[in-house]
Structure 1
Amino acid sequence: MAIPVISFFTGGGFLDIGLHRAGFRAVWTNENNSAFADMYESAMVGLRSATEDDTLPVTVSSRSSIEELSAAGVMKEAFPKGRPHVFGVVGGPPCPDFSNGGTHAGGSGINGRLTKLYIEMVRKLRPDFFIMENVSGLHDVKKHRRFLSSLVKVLREKANYAVDLRVLNALELGVPQSRERLFVIGFKKATATAAAGKEAVGKTEGWFPWPTVARYAGARHLGWPGTSPFGGTPPCPEGIPAELTVFPLLQGNGDPELLLNGKEFFNAYSEKFRTRAEGDVSAKSFKRLHRYRFSPTVWYGNQEVHLHPWKPRRLSVREALRIQTVPDEYVLPADQPLSAKFKLICNGVPCIMAEELGRSVMAFLLRAGRAAGHGPRR
């Protein structure tokens, strides 16, 4: 039996898909961007049909802004039969006000304010646990860190949550992409104390058993290849995990161009598509992946989708989805513009990353005796 979660800023549902695999179920979802909501519903219907998993959500419960929602209304819609024994709240508020590619407006920015509203919603909903995802800049940039600290203080002192936070890199969890993201996680103090002990929870950070995959620890520092002339066939270096390279996604696991969304890419118009070296990701634009290396962060501002390693074009929608570890059965509708599809893809948490985090949360709840009868999907 899955543990129910309420999902805010659902986007394409990548976080929820990963958590679903770990034993959670999104029973209520929220996405204010109408294009994202339409794409989510279309893709999730297809995924549910293809996987024959009738527990996957297929509709966006609310398309209202979190500014317009009340905690009482959300609870009534999510749990019409009353509050469950255990439930969580998850979400990744929009990040541009904290990112290097954004405005750095911080907590006073339009999107920054949504982060505070999300925390206020958590306080009012009083879930047994919550997860918040955002860019690492919310933690690493000094002025943003002060804003984050103020939110965490409210959760600890006024809402009585034990809160931990950490910047995780998707690469070290088995995703073929270097993507650093901040995760803030909280449990009711009684739950955290039961699982980790009073002394551990008394620490401000470091008490939650964050997910790790031993064979990928320090993966960024392996002997990855440099650049190679475009059009060549560079050798595969020894000693690097093949699953952390983009090669299996672009060729080894079936030709993505033969799949739905596989031929959806921006037209090549510049000579740079044929001259940029394979593996050259040094410039702000026309970054070309290396077949035997991981991808940089999937973040395609101004439609700067990364270049295919050995083809004179940008990545397709299907290829980008694969780098985000989204299953091939998840298909975005043909009637949506490419720019909207790539934006949705960029905003998501890699499914494998979400699953690994979800398994750590589930194990913690089990240790605290709060997840009897629940567990990961097998």
Structure 2
Amino acid sequence: MKNKKQLKIGELFSGPGGLALGAYLAAKKTQLFDYEHAWAVDNHEHTCETYIRNIKGATPDSVFCEDIRTFNMKNLRNASDKIDGFAFGFPCNDFSVVGEQKGMQGDFGPLYTYGLKVLRMFEPDFFVAENVSGLTSANQGEALKKILKDLEQAGPKYVLTPYLYKFEEYGVPQARHRLIIVGFKKSLGIKFKPPKQTHLKKFVSAKDAIEKTPIKKDAYNNEKTVQSDLVVKRLSYILPGQNAWNAAIPKAYQLNVKGAKLSQIYKRLEAEKPSYTITGSGGGGTHVYHWSENRALTNRERARLQTFPDNFEFMGSKESIRRQIGMAVPPDGAKVIFEAIFKSLHGIEYDHIKDDDIYIPGMKRK
């Protein structure tokens, strides 16, 4: 791969395009490859529309809006006879630390196996698999062990490097921790090294992300949420970093909730720190709240915390857009990883994490 070439990448569970945009930006920065979209599959209509609207080369013929469990995977061959790379953020519902954590026993846990089918069909040089940090402990750690073993043995066999990335350490203005598994075809003789953190000493704050470059009045997806008088009053008693449960709120404005009390309910951001994790679903009080104004963030503000550029237009209803933003991989985080992948393919050295520090919490070091 000494000469610059087109690098075709296919995706399952593509979301609105966070991984794809990250790969495109990495190719543009490193100038080692030209990014080429091959195909993408996702089961959410508005998400597919967003992907087609924003990702270079994506068309209604190359983006399949279908449930992978009933999708005819032969259609992928029709879209592209080969791919060089493969990315899949297999659904995380059953591995998330928020919820029941059903793991492999849930409806979503086994969906990673469709990624195995792609690896057998196309035998790409590399793949990137993304999931929540909760995967490391699902089913007492047995789920991750099985997934790693299956990925390692898939198709031509792969050399894996799983690593728990804390994206705020890479310049993303959000404490978002995700397990990323990078695999290289064994025959290539490449052992991937996670790129070294770039922002350990100075995180990007929520305020800088949202305000350093003002959002234009006519920016996409920037409609404000209308807050009720009750919510405005409740927020007025919540300080930055506090939530509905630990703030000194008069009884008249308190929530009457029994059972589990999620820490993100009506939680305000802290201006000088990265945001807490942006989520894609939830009822009242889960929309992420401004540090000084008594309101929820707009979707565009959430998108900035996820590092989507302002010219990235999300399609669909307000709640659908919120879902897409919350479920996406931050493009700037994906970009750092793809830069390291592209350099690895070319045998180019880069700053990386030491071997002794490449391990997954809860698992034995190799």
Q: TM-score, normalised by structure 2?
A: 0.79
Q: Aligned match of 1:155 in 136, 141, 151?
A: 151
State the one-letter code of the partner of 1:118: G
Matching residue of 2:362: none
Q: Aligned match of 2:167 in 158, 170, 186?
A: 170
Matching residue of 1:11: 15
Which secondary structure state, in structure 1, belongs to the residue aligned with residue 270 of structure 2? coil
Mapped partners of 1:14, 1:266: distance in 2: 28
Matching residue of 1:286: 266
User: Do structure 1's residue 39 and structure 2's residue 50 form an aligned pair?
Assistant: yes
Contact 1:88 1:129 in 2 (8 A): yes
Deviations along 1:32-75, one digit per CA (max 9) or x if unpaired, are: 11232233334x1xxx7xxxxxx442545211222234554312
Matching residue of 1:27: 38
Q: Which runs of 5+ in 2 are unaligned?
A: 28-34, 247-262, 349-366
State the one-letter code of the partner of 1:9: F
User: Do structure 1's residue 68 and structure 2's residue 70 form an aligned pair?
Assistant: yes
Q: Which has the higher helix share?
A: 1
Matching residue of 2:282: 302
1:345-360 mapped onto 2 (5 Å cutoff): 345-360=325-340
Going from structure 1 to structure 2, the CA distance change for 1:144 and 1:98 (only over 3 Å counts) comes to: farther
Matching residue of 1:103: 100
Mapped partners of 1:213, 1:311: distance in 2: 32
Matched positions, count:
313
Mapped partners of 2:72, 2:280: distance in 1: 34
User: Do structure 1's residue 274 and structure 2's residue 224 form an aligned pair?
Assistant: no
Which secondary structure state, in structure 2, belongs to the residue aligned with residue 101 of structure 1? coil
Mapped partners of 2:279, 2:290: distance in 1: 15
User: Do structure 1's residue 252 and structure 2's residue 212 form an aligned pair?
Assistant: yes
Shift of 1:78: 1.9
User: Do structure 1's residue 327 and structure 2's residue 309 form an aligned pair?
Assistant: yes
Matched-pair identity in %? 23
Shift of 1:18: 0.7
Q: Which runs of 5+ in 1 are unaligned?
A: 49-54, 196-206, 220-239, 369-378
Going from structure 1 to structure 2, the CA distance change for 1:337 and 1:75 (only over 3 Å counts) comes to: same
Q: TM-score, normalised by structure 1?
A: 0.77
Matching residue of 2:359: none
Shift of 1:339: 1.7
- RMSD between aligned residues: 2.2
1:351-370 mapped onto 2 (5 Å cutoff): 351-367=331-347
Mapped partners of 2:114, 2:100: distance in 1: 19
Contact 1:107 1:144 in 2 (8 A): no
Which secondary structure state, in structure 2, belongs to the residue aligned with residue 66 of structure 1? coil
User: Do structure 1's residue 181 and structure 2's residue 181 form an aligned pair?
Assistant: no
Mapped partners of 1:112, 1:258: distance in 2: 40
Deviations along 1:74-117, one digit per CA (max 9) or x if unpaired, are: 123123xxx36xx0110101101001113311112111121222
Deviations along 1:322-359, one digit per CA (max 9) or x if unpaired, are: 000001001224xx332211111010010100000000
Mapped partners of 1:94, 1:357: distance in 2: 20
Which secondary structure state, in structure 2, belongs to the residue aligned with residue 261 of structure 1? coil
Contact 2:173 2:209 in 1 (8 A): no
